[in-house]
Amino acid sequence: MDEILLIDKPPGMTSFGVVARLRRVLSKQEGKKVKVGHTGTLDPFATGLMIIVTGQMCRRAMEFTKLDKWYEAEIVLGIESTTGDPEGELSRISDRKPDKGEIKQVLQKFTGKIEQIPPAFSAVKVNGRRAYQLARAGKEVDIPKRIVTIYALELIGYDYPVLKLRAHVSSGTYIRSLAADIGKELKTGAYCQNLRRIKIADYDVKNAKVLADFGILS
């Protein structure tokens, strides 16, 4: 099997969990161990498109990793999370209610090339270890800033405290960090409540299979 598989990842599952389940099923079908890899992770709480490669296509994984991505996100204002998502410890920061015009002005500030610090709870490597491993151990995580590109950032809905965004971003962009930075700029605090990856370059989640199509129920 030398294939590209488009998978719609369910919530609550790690990207490595998706790969492990598919490897088990495909290997059983083929009667031998099938090499399976991913081309970029999604956070466990997130859903949406993953490009999975099998067999010889695993050698081309990095080609897909560097592609642009599109996300739809729900960001909650007034509350911050230690992880930037619903899985962290939540703290009320502000009751301030910015209007739609102010939000659109702030979003413009985050369009184009921007500096971003990946979340402490992320797969970024720090001194040879994953940042989330250090964070879970209670150690201070010092992740350097990186330059990412936000090609488009569209407000598609706002009903305080939840604003909904559609973002077209470069590889390496963290929507959790973007949400937190937007909250700081609005002086409200914010975290990413829901996140869905809808496209990777020309690959669309509409064309993806779900794990149940492979007989995987959990």
Residue 161 phi/psi, 5-degree rounding, is -95, 10
Beta-strand relationship, 112-116 and 146-159: antiparallel
- Cα–Cα dist 201/212, whole Å: 25
CB 121 within 8 A of CB 132: yes
The stretches of 110-209 forming alpha helices (DSSP H) are: 131-136, 175-185
The Cα–Cα gap between 112 and 92 comes to 30
Contacts of 36 (CB under 8 A, 6+ apart): 19, 22, 23, 26, 52, 53, 54, 58
Based on the residue annotation, tell me whether 43 is a catalytic residue of this protein. Answer: yes
Residues 87/14, Cβ–Cβ less than 8 Å: no
What CA–CA distance (Å, rounded) separates 1 from 34?
7
Which one from 43, 68, 181, 204 is the annotated catalytic residue?
A: 43
Catalytic residues: 43
